[in-house]
Every structure is written in structure tokens, then in C-alpha cells.
Amino acid sequence: MSKKGIAILGATGSIGTQALDVVRAFPNDFEAIVLTCGSNAELLIKQALEFKPKAVVLTDTTQLATVKEALKRQDTAVLCGEEGLVEVVQYEEVKVVLNAIVGSAGLKPTVKAIECRKDIALANKETLVVAGELIMDLVQQYGVSMLPVDSEHSAIFQCLVGEAHNPIEKIYVTASGGPFRGKKTGELLQVTKAEALKHPNWAMGAKITIDSASLMNKGLEVIEAKWLFNLSIDQVDVIVHPQSIVHSLVQFKDGSMKAQMGVPDMKLPIQYALTYPARFENSFERFNFMDYPTLNFEKPDMDTFRNLALAYDALRAGGNKCCVLNAANEVVVDAFLKDKIGFLQMSDVIEATLNKMEFIAHPTLDDYLETDRVTRLITSEIIKD
């Protein structure tokens, strides 16, 4: 049997490196054809020397010469920029594009990959937040598979196996609640980025870790779920579950609920996206009931964590609103990580941006890209004021 060729976009990140762990665990089944990164040239070189891909792409070009020099003895093309990303997803050897880029920078490569009839293993939730309707239309049009990597969406996807003709009544997307669960607005005024970066259950990239602390990650996931599973907004509910063992639940029309469970480890959803519909035996950690004698569930506090409410509002408004929400969020998270604004100010700035941006009811891809660009400028101006 031939190996499944994979392009890993964002190979040097938290998801990307764990995806390479999965490739390493199944050398007879998967082959890394393409590896890409933003700026971590050192790790990209290391990965390329080990996996010998057909090509690597460096989005930040400052270290292009270093990468070329390091890889000159092997048959690996070295490309750069967004053009490089869009080129490599087209390679014939690539069967599935695992998009683990952070932020809306993942949108264009996803679109190109779908147009080239590649299956998509999607970690880059921002792709669906920005342009969910357009993306899912393209998925239909080109007949490709959209395989979720996000743990909650993988859980829902797994619960739906064998249920193609059974309509969903509701889904429950679980949320850990992050490091500030239970805190009230007054207690969040002074929280530091070091505190926000300490996630109780998951080790992830900086942006998604801040999103988890502010509940924006759950807001983005509600939007992602709506488009992935073709649901109405009222069918998507969030339930806080601090242990992160139940990764999400589906409730069917007869009231029966299915949940997918396991220890919090992204390697499982990554592996499932690559092996679907099969399940491959692995040696990842197993769940032990005695380690978790109690599992808790509680309502999310949307008054304190306003980002979740802002995300529901943006989704209800439709058009380019979720694109604005996402771009504004990327800018405020960056500003928070650079100590330019406080934790609670993030929601204020996002809301102010949403109120300022022009509404486009039926955006094209160019409208989304332009909305993303203009939003970033407006959010940056609001932060400066």
C-alpha cells in the first residue's frame, strides 16, 4: 500500500510538531511531503533533515538563505512566502493538507488546497471562522473531505460516524474554562500574561492559550462547529467541563447523547483525521477512571467572559462579522502578549471594532481578505487611542 502524502502547514508549532509525532509513529502509512513554518527556521531545518520532504516553505523570508544552505545536500525545494504555501499544496503527492497555521493566514492555502481536490485536516479553526460558509461550499463543490483536528470537533465528528441519516438535535461543545474559570470581572482587571498563558489541561501555542483564557477560543469553536456540521446557531451550546475528558457531545432527535472521551492529548484527534475512517492502534496514554472519579459540568459565565457572547452575536449577524471578530481578536491577543493592553480590554477593543467596521452581507473571498486587512488597521488604531 502506498503511503498517504501529507503537507503539514505550520509544522513547527504545537499541532505541527505533534502531527510529526504521528507521522513518526506510522512510517509505513504516512509521508511528510511538505513542511512549512512562519519564522522558526532552526526547527524547520531539523525537521526537514529528518523527514526529507519534497519541499519546505518559510513564510518569513529573513532566514531563507540559512535554510537553503542547511538543506543543499538533499532533494528538498525551499520556497517562501504566501505564494510558496499556495504552490506546495498543489503537489500531486499530497493527498491531505494538515493546516496547523495560526490565524487567518491559513485561509488562502486552505482555499487553494480544496480547489486542487486535496482533503483538509483542519486545525486552523480561523479558516472556518473567517469564511465558513464559503469554505464549506467549496468542500461540497470539489468533493473533498474536511476532517476536523480541533479536539471538540473531532469528538463530534467521531460521534457522528454511522449516523448520517439521523438528524442532530443539539451539540454540546465542552470548554475547560481556562485558568480564570470562576473569577469575576474585578479579579480579572490585573491578571498578567504569565497567568493567562498557564492553561490547566493543554500545552498549546500562545495565541490559542490566550483565547482559551478569554473564552474567545470557545467562541471561535462555536462558529467552527456551526459551519462544519451545518447546524443552526441555537443547536450549538457550550458547557464548561474543567477536566477536559469529555471532548464534546452530540444529542440526537430521540434524546440520546453520544460523547467522545479520552485524556487531553491532541495526537489522538490529529491521528484520527489522518486515518479516518480507520482507527490505528497506538501507544498513546489511556484514560483511567480512578484518576478522574468526578467529572464536572457548569454553565459558561458569558457576563464575565464577554468574548463568548461577542462570538455568538457575530455569528447571528452573519456576513463579514465573524471575519471582523477574528481579525480584531488576533490583533488584541498580540497586543496583550506585548503588554500593550490589559486582559479585559481585549473584549472592549473587539466590540469597538465590530461596531466600526462596514457590514458586508454576502462577502466574496476578496471581501473577506479586505475585511481582515482593514479590521487589523482599525483595531490597531483603537488600541493606540
- Classify the C-alpha dihedral 225-229-235-238 as positive or negative: negative
**Residue sitting closest to ligand NAD (CB):** 13
Q: Does 211 bind Mg ion (CB under 5 A)?
A: no
Please state the closest distance from residue 187 (CB atom) to ligand NAD, in A: 26
Interacting positions 73-132 with ligand NAD (CB under 6 A): 100-102, 105, 123-126
Please state the closest distance from residue 204 (CB atom) to ligand NAD, in A: 3
Q: Does 150 bind Mg ion (CB under 5 A)?
A: yes
CA distance 132 to 125: 9
Please state the closest distance from residue 155 (CB atom) to ligand NAD, in A: 12
Please state the closest distance from residue 228 (CB atom) to ligand NAD, in A: 13
Interacting positions 252-281 with ligand NAD (CB under 6 A): 266
105 binding partner (options Mg ion, ligand NAD, none; Cβ < 5 to 8 Å by kind): ligand NAD
User: Cβ(125)–Cβ(204) under 8 Å?
Assistant: no
Q: Which of 7, 15, 55, 134 binds ligand NAD (CB under 6 A)?
A: 15
Q: CA 131: distance to chain centroid?
A: 13
Q: Does 301 bind Mg ion (CB under 5 A)?
A: no
Q: Which of 133, 106, 58, 174 is nearest to 327 (CA)?
A: 106
Q: Does 40 bind ligand NAD (CB under 6 A)?
A: yes
247 binding partner (options ligand NAD, Mg ion, none; Cβ < 5 to 8 Å by kind): none
* Cβ count near 50 (within 10 Å): 13
Residue 186: partners with Cβ closer than 8 Å, 6 or more residues away: none
Q: Does 53 bind ligand NAD (CB under 6 A)?
A: no
Q: Which of 4, 6, 7, 12 binds ligand NAD (CB under 6 A)?
A: 12
Name which of 39 and 362 has its Cβ closer to ligand NAD: 39
Bridge partners, 61 (sequence order):
none
Q: CA 10: distance to chain centroid?
A: 11
Selected range binding ligand NAD among 204-212, 344-352, 354-362, 364-372, rule: CB under 6 A: 204-212
Q: Does 10 bind ligand NAD (CB under 6 A)?
A: yes
Q: Does 222 bind ligand NAD (CB under 6 A)?
A: no
User: What is the three-class DSSP state of 246?
Assistant: strand
* Cβ count near 55 (within 10 Å): 20
Q: Which three cell numbers stand for residue 384?
A: 493606540
User: Cβ(213)–Cβ(205) under 8 Å?
Assistant: no
Q: Which of 104, 147, 82 is nearest to 320 (CA)?
A: 104
Selected range binding ligand NAD among 37-45, 233-241, 313-321, 370-378, rule: CB under 6 A: 37-45
Q: Which of 95, 109, 142 is nearest to 1 (CA)?
A: 95
Number of H helices, E strands in the chain: 16, 11
User: Cβ(272)–Cβ(26) under 8 Å?
Assistant: no
Q: Does 357 bind ligand NAD (CB under 6 A)?
A: no
CA distance 208 to 124: 10
Q: Does 219 bind ligand NAD (CB under 6 A)?
A: no
Q: Does 346 bind ligand NAD (CB under 6 A)?
A: no
Q: Which of 150, 224, 301, 334 binds ligand NAD (CB under 6 A)?
A: 150
Q: Which residues contact ligand NAD by CB under 6 A?
A: 10-16, 37-38, 40, 59, 100-102, 105, 123-126, 150, 202, 204-205, 207-208, 266
